[in-house]
A and B are shown apart, each in its own frame.
Chain A
């Protein structure tokens, strides 16, 4: 059996006969709604709790943001995966990239040799390969980590392969040679003969190299996408913000007994506050839909949890021992943001 490394990720298409493609396995196992909205989200919540307890505020902020994003990402990831499987799509890639960041945070995985996508743990790769007899690891790209994988799988041979897809014209240049090749490369980029320059190895921090890299980024039509998403970015062509796909929930009328229309939870702060070490509780309205989470006062979560489709707001106010007018105001706001509505 030929084993293909997880990179370049995410792969297009499906696993070819006679191969075990770790990229396809990774994509189809973790870049799915059930995983993002299930075990990955649970792992993020657990790691968030630990980070807060140990006062690792920057880590906690990133984990909180990831946990919150897991709701809209879970709702978008299946469609994104399917669209990407059919062909390059910048919007789909943006969602998959955010899902990849959630995977890294949830699984405590690092980015792979391309610096852009999750590189699974040894245990995951060994477990996925299992007891299959591996004849070789196929290397299709200089930064696909084939050598690392070959070592992990017991020093199996690395054989040369090619990517199935034709990539847009690009050059691969070592960071140390950027300055001396600047004029030639940027001329090609400006004239459209290249779309991007793939930089390998260390990039010296001297002014000449930094200025060369700046001009390459200025002129390369697909440079930003390549740097952000690796080979997949080169295919997709552009970088878009996955959050552009989010839409607010429709406002609901405040009419009769109400019911919740979202999930609600109280978490330690907002990402920006948490980064400053401020872990005071904040309520969060979360939809299993492509909508951004909404931060509210914890009291609003208490009201939302009382909405049962039977009692009116006066009864809920009495149950909460809260002023009826305050509960009505909160309920109206919950309906306005689509977090609650009539039965």
Chain B
């Protein structure tokens, strides 16, 4: 096994701790940013759904503002977002570099996309189910938690999968602020020195992470479908 790895990934095996570091950094970034993204995206997605015309707490101004803000942040390319958010990042995290420094832009970059995924997932919940709950005298909060989120679980799981995978794509750019990760590892240590085995190792690791996330998402979606 070890010999085979030496043969196929000579440069990776020279300093395996470097590869493991990069992998850990990616997982930390995806974990933290993913967690906050899920939280904020869910809140904004729910707010969009509830405030929308015909929603349980319909409020046109709130919807309009949220809608525009989400579109604004979705339009800014991630690399530029990192630069734009520098001061905010420093304020919140105490630094604007490293893994810590990239979490804020990652969340801001992915949460609006996730909010749209949540909106789409909840929009897919049959209006009749909402109407039935209203007729039963269920409160707006009850309808959000007991009808929208519960009945939309499978669609939410799929939306989360898609967003997490695109988040992994964003972490590849974390190298710009010295946050490391597999993307940075592949470019600075692999591609730039023409050590293609390093590039391949990073790619394989990312493919494995994506596959795991996809499988977990599919499993949750299946469990939630009866």
Q: Do they bind each other?
A: no
Identify the B interface with A (CB < 8 A). Answer: none
